[in-house]
Chains A and B, each alone.
Chain A
């Protein structure tokens, strides 16, 4: 089984060029040396690499799994080669500062490239992606000599990196972090255990640099006493050469539903009192520092959910075109027909197509905003606007795309009938791999609490206002559109209702927190449906414009019909769901635990 990974290049470029005009990023000061054709080349090269270099790892990794022998993790040799390639050719630090070995491309390019690499092999691409995240934290917060010591080697793929947050009693609640750092001159002695550490140990590189949350001895209880530390697996000499092992031991490797080639480790730090760490950033500011990375990681989780859905959908589509079974329900063709001719199969395919395109557009839009939020002149109103938009949409992207991405994989499997359930086809693996996305980087429940609480009320409602303004402007501009005005008006009605419900819920957070918390998740999903409709209608209006100029083809009519289908079938359900968020019934809270 090869060539599992499927992606439609035209879909990607239609969003990047026609919808977002991503070449316009080159006018930002940080990207003055870039041109749109260079960004195109990065995307095209990434597609080639994803297909040729990374896609085969999906099957190799699944077969090999992770080998854990005598406290060490061994990975497939092909993974080691691919990781080296990523580092040496600049892919790990592609959007990072050139002063530390990065390539200086726009932040959004990382998201686009991750779309392709995660789609080709989620388990593998976590390794370079985590290495990037860890190195980026060091680049942003550590002192200069530590940056020079660690960051270029990590972007260059010589060393890997991890994020160590979770402990047995500190999962979603990091306030309970128990790992301790004891001051010892210019460094700290680290002692404690971390669990669920993705790529916590492996043999892809000779060193692994762990970024861990720990409490300094005597620090205040709770989240305000947590600091961030750099803890290498092997000690590093001042000249960058490797020294003795740093008393970091892998105690066990989890057995999981999916991502079998990604080692999820329990790590013990300082079991023999010999583990040295360095403070990264300010004392007791570990959580805010980590959250800078975490927000980016949440967009990446959305990417994973979406891209696994994308490749699952296209695999189902290929199957539906080839599989001959049953007769045409209206007798339009004699004999047996490919199952794509059956309306019920088409229903599933069209739903998946709209979901994938809408999610990809939502995520790329968020990624585009991230460049404007970080690279427009500091203090400008525009920059604040995009910051607000990005902050607001991040939990929506994370939870919606992970939740729906998994469901697209499930429907893709459905299209194959019994064959979809077998390992002869790649979809069951995509389905298993995709499930983690709703769990890690903050569960989807936590995302909904973040959206309906902190984000709704953040900056006195400015975050929500930025989002609402953006959508309202779109609706006003296009409500009289000759072909799609009706759909835009439906969106407009749902946006009004959503606004009312969301504001009401924000009030309820204080007055009736139990009822509020019972409905934050469905409310987040309503935000997702509305964002999807907005992005899909925007694509449709662009496609209609091209069609009106006589340049249209089935690609463009697909964009138009997927939008009208999504708006026509999804938004009525969204309206109903919004009603349920406001219902007076209190069963969720009032049913006794014994009654469950």
Chain B
């Protein structure tokens, strides 16, 4: 099977996010960038399918040069090759433009199944996966926690949690699947994997090479405009309930909830 995984690089949750002076973006210096956690589930699932059916896993990333770090991590986990779409015109693109660029990069590679994360943990849009499927003219299944490829490799059955129930959906391949937490436990890169990763091919593609028109990308072409970013309100300090025994702590907690918080 030929499997493609699209990945995004996002600020690590350990990084402190600070707003830029323009009030519409964040400061990108001093951030630690990592593979979007939902995309990691996609990489892991792709590797498991490859281990079962054979074939190859291609990782496609998009953005500045630093994104190669995340692609290399996927290669160290076991993916076979990487593609980085890198073009100055990309900066500031919205989700639809991102999907358009990804579609241009994958359309000429053979593929049976494409994974993306169900959303990026930075912008929380959840658009790229479905939009990519639209641009490629293939079905998509989003927010998926279980993937079963049929023995003949022609279709896929997926589980999607809906309102406490599970929706089981089936689709012919090729298709796009967007990965949700719970799909699997992503593996760590091994040291032999890191050694091997450096010899695996990692191709860089510009818009010119992909036949894309730069004017359809970037800040100016956004359909979605960010008007303002504000930090969440600072959390108030918590209270530690004291007491000698669990019973006395529980009693004090009940009193506080009743008298101070007035919720019970």
**Chain A 60-114 interface residues, beta-carbon cutoff 8 Å to B:** 85, 88-91, 94, 103-105
User: Given the interface contacts A37-B69, A324-B237, A555-B30, does A49 sit within 8 Å of B188 by beta carbon?
Assistant: yes
- A323 to B237 Cα, complex, angstroms: 7
Least Cβ distance of B26 to chain A in Å? 15
**Chain B 213-238 interface residues, beta-carbon cutoff 8 Å to A:** 237
Least Cβ distance of B16 to chain A in Å? 11
For B29, give the chain A residue with the smallest CB separation. Answer: A553
Pairwise interchain contact A38-B237, C-beta atoms closer than 8 A: no
Name the one of B14, B190, B198 contacting A38, with C-beta atoms under 8 angstroms. B198
Pairwise interchain contact B194-A41, C-beta atoms closer than 8 A: yes
**Chain B 52-101 interface residues, beta-carbon cutoff 8 Å to A:** 69, 72-73, 76
Interface string of A521-556 (1 = CB under 8 A from B): 000000000000000000000000000000001010
Pairwise interchain contact B14-A9, C-beta atoms closer than 8 A: yes
Q: Does B211 contact A (CB under 8 A)?
A: no
Q: By the criterion of a CB under 8 Å from any partner CB, how many residues of chain B are at the interface?
A: 19
Least Cβ distance of B30 to chain A in Å? 7
Pairwise interchain contact B198-A48, C-beta atoms closer than 8 A: no
Q: Does A322 contact B (CB under 8 A)?
A: yes
User: Given the interface contacts A94-B191, A105-B191, A322-B237, does A41 sit within 8 Å of B73 by beta carbon?
Assistant: yes
What A residues does B69 contact at CB under 8 A?
37, 40-41
Q: Does A35 contact B (CB under 8 A)?
A: yes
Pairwise interchain contact A103-B191, C-beta atoms closer than 8 A: yes
Pairwise interchain contact A103-B188, C-beta atoms closer than 8 A: no
- A103 to B198 Cα, complex, angstroms: 14
Pairwise interchain contact B190-A88, C-beta atoms closer than 8 A: yes
For B236, give the chain A residue with the smallest CB separation. Answer: A324
Least Cβ distance of A585 to chain B in Å? 50
Q: Does A53 contact B (CB under 8 A)?
A: yes
Name the one of A53, A324, A553 contacting B188, with C-beta atoms under 8 angstroms. A53
Q: Does B32 contact A (CB under 8 A)?
A: yes
Pairwise interchain contact A553-B72, C-beta atoms closer than 8 A: no
For B240, give the chain A residue with the smallest CB separation. Answer: A419
Q: Does A579 contact B (CB under 8 A)?
A: no
- A35 to B197 Cα, complex, angstroms: 11
Least Cβ distance of B155 to chain A in Å? 34
Pairwise interchain contact B188-A89, C-beta atoms closer than 8 A: yes
- A45 to B76 Cα, complex, angstroms: 10
Q: Does A42 contact B (CB under 8 A)?
A: yes
Least Cβ distance of B109 to chain A in Å? 25
- A217 to B220 Cα, complex, angstroms: 86
For A93, give the chain B residue with the smallest CB separation. Answer: B191
User: Given the interface contacts A9-B32, A89-B188, does A45 sit within 8 Å of B198 by beta carbon?
Assistant: no
Pairwise interchain contact B191-A89, C-beta atoms closer than 8 A: yes
For B12, give the chain A residue with the smallest CB separation. Answer: A9
For B32, give the chain A residue with the smallest CB separation. Answer: A9
Pairwise interchain contact A45-B14, C-beta atoms closer than 8 A: no
Q: Does B246 contact A (CB under 8 A)?
A: no
Interface string of B177-199 (1 = CB under 8 A from A): 00000000000111111110110
Least Cβ distance of A554 to chain B in Å? 10
Pairwise interchain contact B76-A41, C-beta atoms closer than 8 A: yes
Least Cβ distance of A561 to chain B in Å? 18
Pairwise interchain contact A42-B190, C-beta atoms closer than 8 A: no
Name the one of A33, A45, A53 contacting B189, with C-beta atoms under 8 angstroms. A45
Pairwise interchain contact B14-A35, C-beta atoms closer than 8 A: no
What A residues does B188 contact at CB under 8 A?
45, 48-49, 53, 85, 89
What A residues does B189 contact at CB under 8 A?
41, 45
User: Given the interface contacts A9-B32, A88-B190, A89-B190, does A35 sit within 8 Å of B198 by beta carbon?
Assistant: yes
Interface string of B17-37 (1 = CB under 8 A from A): 000000000000010100000
What A residues does B237 contact at CB under 8 A?
322-324
What A residues does B192 contact at CB under 8 A?
89-90, 103
Least Cβ distance of B147 to chain A in Å? 23
- A322 to B238 Cα, complex, angstroms: 9
Least Cβ distance of B252 to chain A in Å? 16
Least Cβ distance of B42 to chain A in Å? 17
- A88 to B188 Cα, complex, angstroms: 11
Find the residue from A45, A88, A94, A324 having the highest chain B CB count within 10 A: A45
Pairwise interchain contact A90-B190, C-beta atoms closer than 8 A: yes
What A residues does B72 contact at CB under 8 A?
37, 41
Least Cβ distance of A503 to chain B in Å? 45
What B residues does A91 contact at CB under 8 A?
191
- A42 to B188 Cα, complex, angstroms: 11
Least Cβ distance of B75 to chain A in Å? 10
User: Given the interface contacts A35-B198, A37-B69, does A42 sit within 8 Å of B32 by beta carbon?
Assistant: no
Least Cβ distance of A511 to chain B in Å? 53
For A553, give the chain B residue with the smallest CB separation. Answer: B30
Least Cβ distance of B250 to chain A in Å? 16
Least Cβ distance of B259 to chain A in Å? 21
- A103 to B190 Cα, complex, angstroms: 10
For A325, give the chain B residue with the smallest CB separation. Answer: B237
Pairwise interchain contact A90-B191, C-beta atoms closer than 8 A: yes
- A89 to B192 Cα, complex, angstroms: 7
What B residues does A89 contact at CB under 8 A?
188, 190-193
What B residues does A323 contact at CB under 8 A?
237
What B residues does A104 contact at CB under 8 A?
195
- A33 to B196 Cα, complex, angstroms: 11
Given A41-B189, A45-B188, A322-B237, 14 additional A-B pairs, CB 8 A: A10-B30, A38-B197, A41-B73, A42-B191, A45-B76, A45-B189, A89-B190, A89-B192, A89-B193, A90-B192, A91-B191, A94-B191, A104-B195, A323-B237
Jot down 20 A-B pairs with beta carbons below 8 A, ordered by A.
A10-B30, A33-B195, A38-B198, A40-B69, A41-B69, A41-B73, A41-B189, A42-B194, A45-B73, A45-B76, A45-B194, A53-B188, A89-B188, A90-B190, A103-B195, A104-B195, A105-B191, A322-B237, A323-B237, A553-B30
A residues at B contact (CB < 8 Å)? 9-10, 33, 35, 37-38, 40-42, 44-45, 48-49, 53, 85, 88-91, 94, 103-105, 322-324, 419, 553, 555
> What 4 A-B pairs have minimum CB-CB distances, sorted nearest first?
A90-B191, A89-B190, A103-B191, A324-B237
